[in-house]
Amino acid sequence: MHKPDAATKPIVWTIASSDSGGGAGIQADLHTFAALDCHGCSVIAAVTAQNSTEVVGYEAVSQALFVTQLNCLLHDMPPQVIKIGLIPDTGLLEQLASWLAQHKTQYQFIVIADPVLSSSTGYNFVRQSTLSTWRHKLLPLLDLITPNLPELALLSQLPQAEVELQAGQLLQWGAKAVLIKGGHSNSIADITDHFISSNSSFQLTQPRLSTVHNHGTGCVLSSAIAAACAHDYELADSIIIGRAYLQQALCHSYATGKGAGSLQHHAWPTEPRYFSILKQPQDTDYDTLSFAAIAAPIGFYPVVDNVQWLKRLLPLEPDVIQLRIKHGTAGEVEQQIAEAVELSRDYQLRLFINDHWQLAIKYAAYGVHLGQEDLTTADLSAIAAAGVRLGISTHSYVELLRARQLLPSYIALGHIFTTQTKQMPSRPQGLIRLKRYAALCSDIPTVAIGGITTERLDAVLQCGVSGVAVVSAVTAQAEPEQAFSHFKHRVEQYYAHHA
C-alpha cells in the first residue's frame, strides 16, 4: 500500500454520486473524510436532483468521463482506500469492476462499498442487471460491503433467510467481509450491526437515537470506516471508529428542509457514549462484575520480573509495582508471589501480580494484571469476589471496548513505542492513538506501557493517562535506583500540577 509521509494526509476516494441536498452521497463522503483528517478525492458517477423529501431525477456521467476521472487521479493521487457509493448505471458499474480488477493488486488499495440500491425516500436506483454486476463482478473486489437489511436481502437473493446465511452468500461470491447495518430492524431501543468475515464475527450495539434527521447515514458510516482504514487501523477497529463517528454525527444532526435533515460532522469520536457495546463469540456473559477500585491514581508503575527486584526497590518507597514472573517452576513462582505479597503489606505497596490470578487470590494480592488471552480462561467472577483489583492489557479499539465492558480497576494501553522487553504481535500504537484511547477511558484509570523512556515521559503523560508502566527504563539501567527515583519524581510532579 502507498504510505503517506508525515507532511501529507491519507488519500481516500469516493466513487459515488452527487446529492444536490448536500446530506448524502459525494458531499457527505467528503465532509467525513475531512473531519477524520483524510484528503478526499471524488469520482462522480451521477448527478442526482434531490432534496430532503424526494429524489426528483438523476443522470449518469458518460463511461468515458467516469474512467477519465479514475485514471487521472490514479497516477497522481493514488488512494489508500476507495469508498464506493451510489453507481446508478450498470455500464458504469461494469467499468468500475474492470478498472478495480486491473489496478487493485498493483496499488493495494482497500475497497469498501456501501451498496446504495434505493434512496431513503423510496427512489429505486437499480435494475436486475445492476444487481447481477454487484454480485458477480464487484463483490470479489471488495474488502468490505456495508448493506442494510433490505439491500442484503436483494443482493443475496435470500429474502427470507437469517442474516448470517445472507451474508455467507456474499462471502461466497467473493466479498472479504460484510457489515450488516441493523437500522431497518424492528428493535426500538437499540440498533445492532453484525460483522461477518470468513474468520471472524462480532456485533456492535448502540442506542437507537430518536432523530428524524438521518439522511446520509449509510454514506457517512462507510466513509468513516474508509477514513479510519486509511489511517492504518485494522478493519474491525475502523468499523468501531466509523460507528462511533456516525453516532456522534447523529446525536448532533439538524433539520435542513421539510424532510430528513443532515448529520453534523465533528472530529474523531472520543466520548464513551458514542461507542458501541461489542460482542464477540469468545466473550463470556458475566452478570455485572464489580472490581475493587484503585485507592489513589496509579502514577509511576514499575514492572519487575522477580522478587529480588522488588526487595531492591522497596526502600525507594514505590506506590505501585507489578510482579511479572515469566520463568521458574510452579513452586518457585508461588514462593515468590507469597513472599512479594507479604512484603507489599509491610511496605504498603500496591502489588499487582501478572497472569497468576489464582495465586493473587490465594495470597490476597492488591491486584492482578491479565492479558486479552487470559480473559477467556481466568475466572473473573472469582477475582471480583475476592476484592482483587483487575488490570487488563489492550492494544486496539476492539480490545479496549472488550476491556471497558468488564469495568476493570484499570486498563493498560500498549505498546506505545517499540519495546525490546517483549515480542509484540501488534505494531506500536504511538501517541496519537494513545491520546484517543485515553480519552475513551475518561471514566477508568489508564496506564501506558511499552518503550517509555525519560525522554518520552512528558509526551506520554500529556496524552491523559493516569499511570506510566516501565520495565527496561528501570531494570535495564546502569543505575536502576537512580532511574526509579527520577521517574517517580517526574511522574509525581506532573500529576501534582495536572490533577
Ligand X SMILES: Cc1ncsc1CCOP(=O)(O)O
Ligand Y SMILES: Cc1ncc(COP(=O)(O)OP(=O)(O)O)c(N)n1
- Residue 447 binds to ligand Y (criterion: CB under 6 A): yes
CB under 5 to 8 A by kind: which of ligand X, ligand Y, none does 276 bind? none
Site for ligand Y in 260-319 (CB under 6 A): 303
- Segment interacting with ligand Y (CB under 6 A) among 54-62, 76-84, 129-137, 366-374: 366-374
Q: Nearest-CA neighbor of 80 among 47, 36, 140, 27?
A: 36
CB under 5 to 8 A by kind: which of ligand Y, ligand X, none does 369 bind? ligand Y
- Residue 369 binds to ligand Y (criterion: CB under 6 A): yes
Q: Is 53 annotated as a binding residue?
A: no
CA dist., res. 473 & res. 456, Å (int): 11
CB under 5 to 8 A by kind: which of ligand X, ligand Y, none does 421 bind? ligand X
- Residue 204 binds to ligand Y (criterion: CB under 6 A): no
- Residue 42 binds to ligand Y (criterion: CB under 6 A): no
CB of 301 to ligand Y, least distance (A): 6
Contact 420, 473 (CB under 8 A): no
CB of 418 to ligand X, least distance (A): 8
Q: Nearest-CA neighbor of 40 among 5, 3, 69, 14?
A: 14
- The nearer residue to ligand X, 214 or 393, going by C-beta atoms, is 393
CA dist., res. 138 & res. 96, Å (int): 8
- Residue 466 binds to ligand Y (criterion: CB under 6 A): no
- The nearer residue to ligand X, 115 or 451, going by C-beta atoms, is 451
CA dist., res. 411 & res. 448, Å (int): 9
Q: Is 472 annotated as a binding residue?
A: yes
CB under 5 to 8 A by kind: which of ligand X, ligand Y, none does 447 bind? ligand Y
CB under 5 to 8 A by kind: which of ligand Y, ligand X, none does 193 bind? none
Q: How far apart are the first and last CA of the chain?
A: 43
Residue 106 CB contacts under 8 Å (≥ 6 apart), including other chains: none
Q: Is 350 annotated as a binding residue?
A: no
Q: Is 188 helix (H, G, I), strand (E, B) or coil?
A: coil
- The nearer residue to ligand Y, 24 or 412, going by C-beta atoms, is 412
CA angle centred on 202, ends 200 and 207, rounded to 5°: 165
Instruction: Please tell me the count of residues contacting ligand X according to CB under 6 A.
Output: 13
CA dist., res. 396 & res. 57, Å (int): 44
Residue 272 CB contacts under 8 Å (≥ 6 apart), including other chains: 404, 440, 441, 442, 443
CA distances from 324 to 185, 219, 234, 317, 335 (A): 47, 47, 29, 19, 14
- The nearer residue to ligand Y, 408 or 414, going by C-beta atoms, is 414
- Residue 328 binds to ligand Y (criterion: CB under 6 A): no
CB under 5 to 8 A by kind: which of ligand Y, ligand X, none does 472 bind? ligand X
Binding mask 390-429 for ligand X (x = CB under 6 A): ------------------------xx---x-xx-------
Residue 262 cell numbers, joined: 443532515
CA dist., res. 386 & res. 42, Å (int): 57
CA dist., res. 434 & res. 428, Å (int): 10
Indicate the pairing of strand 299-304 with strand 320-323: parallel
CB of 345 to ligand Y, least distance (A): 21
Binding-site residues, in ranges, read 322-326, 354-355, 374, 393, 419-422, 451, 471-472
Question: Which residues contact ligand Y (rule: CB under 6 A)?
Answer: 303, 322, 324, 354-355, 369-371, 391, 393, 412, 414, 422, 447, 449, 469
Question: Which residues contact ligand X (rule: CB under 6 A)?
Answer: 414-415, 419, 421-422, 449-452, 470-473
